[in-house]
Amino acid sequence: MSTCVACCHWILKEKNHKGEYVTDELIKQGGWGWCRFDERWKYFSYCRECPKGKFEPIEDEQRRQREEWIARKDAERQKRCQELMRAEKLRTRK
């Protein structure tokens, strides 16, 4: 499958002015990145098919690490949503 999660052009980190690799807030949330062949500010989901026809697969180990990272971020987001819903229910009961 030629989705962003398996492509070497899907960028999750970039060098800052100090030479350190960093991520921004949207990428830290998980499942989003930007394509080397598109604008820097235009983010794409990990499950998006390659529209430019420049898909190049990454190694299986790196893909597995990306998928684990996305699953971990999804679990964190799910937990946060459940906590917010629980807090909202408690607030509306009072």
DSSP letters spanning 52-90: SS---B--HHHHHHHHHHHHHHHHHHHHHHHHHHHHHHH
Domain membership of residue 46 as a residue range: 9-56
**pLDDT above 70 as % of the chain:** 94
Number of domains within the chain: 2
Q: Is residue 2 part of a domain?
A: no
Contacts of 25 (CB under 8 A, 6+ apart): none
**Do residue 15 and residue 48 come from a single domain?**
yes
Quote the pLDDT of residue 34.
Answer: 78
Name the pLDDT band for 1 (thresholds 50, 70, 90). Answer: low
Backbone phi and psi for residue 71, each to the nearest 5 degrees, phi listed first: -60, -40
Contacts of 39 (CB under 8 A, 6+ apart): none
Tell me the pLDDT tens digit for each residue of 43-89.
Answer: 777 778 877 778 888 888 988 888 888 888 888 888 888 888 888 88
28 close to 70: Cβ distance less than 8 angstroms: no
**Do residue 65 and residue 41 come from a single domain?**
no
pTM of the entire predicted model = 0.64
**Do residue 14 and residue 51 come from a single domain?**
yes
